[in-house]
Structure 1
Amino acid sequence: MQLKSARQAWHDCLYTAWDSQGSFIEQLGLLGAMVQTTEKQRMASHAVHQALAGGVQSAIGQLAGSIKAFGNFMYAPRLDADTQEDAEEAVFVMVQQRSPRMTAAKREKLEYVVKGVMARYRYMHQGGQSANPDPLESPEGFRAWMVAHYDVKLESTNWERDWAGFVRLAFECCEDLDKAALSPVAAAINEMRRAA
């Protein structure tokens, strides 16, 4: 495990290599049978990886539930439905708290807008370097994607007034949760680098 960035460290500390005992037990549970594999030699690098991963996992373990769920949504090697729902709920609640009052119909659509923004944000920041462009930057592209994925129609008339502010706010909330999730991990990485 290399300590290049907090995003990469989050992913790597939760990654289970296929030569590990954890993946063996996982296969046994999924298949209900043992699968013969070639064992990889345990080396010092494996022990170093485990030690570094433990430090990052400790930092992640101390996060509040909603922040941890958002971090796992963004950077965990495997994403389950419960974690995704928890992360979406965290962002949706934050957006609602920072938004003006709205009708129930608009709030219902806003939930899907938040999910759409989170999918965009995740795509843009995956890989650890935040180098991907926003795939749905144009309102037309985003509206078409919302219809295709959630069957939610957002009106194009008055886009700036009705939805553009909510999209920006959802991105801001994602950034705030991302910083809250990655800051302790970055601090743990810096501490481990100093100790080395």
Structure 2
Amino acid sequence: MKINTARQVWHDCTHNQSRGGLSGLTERTLLGTAVQTTDRGNTADHAEHAVLCGWFQSAIAKLHPQVRVFGDFMYAANQSDDIREAAEEVLFGLVMSKSKRMTAAKREKAEYVAKGVMRRYRYMHQGGQSANPDPMSKPETFRAWLFDYYGVRLESCAWARDWEPFIQLCFECCEDIDRMALSPIAAVIYEMKAAA
């Protein structure tokens, strides 16, 4: 396991490495059966990987469940709708606790806006380097995506007043939860590098 960033480590420690299903596909097509071979090296790389994963998985397990589910949505190798929905609930709850009062109709739309912002944030930070540009930085693009994906129509008039501050708050909340999720991982990385 290469230890580059906390985001990359989160992904790698939740990924189960195994011989892929395609590794013996050629052999099976030629012979009509699978033949056991001893092509593994005589190294302890897999054991080293498991030990390192244990350190990071322990740090992840100690996180608050709401923070952990957000981190799993962002970086875990195994994804599911349950993880996504739980992370969306966490973000929306935090955003609503910090936002101004709003009408019931706007609150209903705000939930989908928060979901969209969370997906934008995830795309921007995938890969561990946070180098991807925001794919929906233009309001027109974001509004079109919300309509296509969720069927939610946001009006363009008074966008700066009605939605820009809310979207900015959603991004700030994503950053706060992300920071809480990654800081214990970064601390373990720091300890490992200091001891080396």
* TM-score, length-scaled by structure 1: 0.89
Specify the code of the residue in structure 2 equivalent to 1:178: D
Specify the code of the residue in structure 1 equivalent to 2:54: G
After TM superposition, the structure 1 = structure 2 runs for residues 141-160 of structure 1, keeping only pairs within 5 Å, are: 141-160=141-160
1:193 corresponds in structure 2 to 193
Secondary structure of the structure 1 residue equivalent to 2:116: helix
Alpha-carbon separation, structure 1, partners of 2:37 and 2:111: 47
Offset, 1:17: 1.2
Offset, 1:44: 1.2
1:77 corresponds in structure 2 to 77
Offset, 1:193: 2.0
Specify the code of the residue in structure 2 equivalent to 1:192: M
Alpha-carbon separation, structure 2, partners of 1:42 and 1:77: 27
1:130 corresponds in structure 2 to 130
1:100 corresponds in structure 2 to 100
After TM superposition, the structure 1 = structure 2 runs for residues 1-196 of structure 1, keeping only pairs within 5 Å, are: 1-19=1-19, 40-41=40-41, 43-196=43-196
Specify the code of the residue in structure 2 equivalent to 1:47: A
Q: Per-residue CA shift, 1:131-158, capped at 9, x if unaligned?
A: 0000000001100000010000001000
Residues 42 and 96 of structure 1, relative CA distance in 2, 3 Å threshold: farther
Deviates more, 1:11-20 or 1:163-172: 11-20
Specify the code of the residue in structure 1 equivalent to 2:92: F
Structure 1 segments of 4+ aligned residues over 4 angstroms from their partners: 35-39
Secondary structure of the structure 1 residue equivalent to 2:136: coil
Offset, 1:46: 1.1
Alpha-carbon separation, structure 2, partners of 1:70 and 1:36: 42
Alpha-carbon separation, structure 2, partners of 1:78 and 1:123: 16
Specify the code of the residue in structure 1 equivalent to 2:51: A
Residues 115 and 41 of structure 1, relative CA distance in 2, 3 Å threshold: same
Identical columns (%)? 55
* TM-score, length-scaled by structure 2: 0.89
Offset, 1:36: 7.4
Residues 36 and 95 of structure 1, relative CA distance in 2, 3 Å threshold: farther
Offset, 1:2: 1.1
Alpha-carbon separation, structure 1, partners of 2:130 and 2:100: 30
Specify the code of the residue in structure 2 equivalent to 1:55: W
1:29 corresponds in structure 2 to none
Equivalences, count: 183
Secondary structure of the structure 2 residue equivalent to 1:129: coil
Q: Per-residue CA shift, 1:66-89, capped at 9, x if unaligned?
A: 100000000001211111111100
Offset, 1:191: 1.3
Offset, 1:187: 0.3
2:30 corresponds in structure 1 to none
Alpha-carbon separation, structure 2, partners of 1:153 and 1:78: 32
Query: Unpaired runs of 5+ in structure 2?
Result: 22-33
Flag the structure with larger Rg: 2
Secondary structure of the structure 2 residue equivalent to 1:130: coil
Specify the code of the residue in structure 2 equivalent to 1:94: L
Specify the code of the residue in structure 2 equivalent to 1:80: S
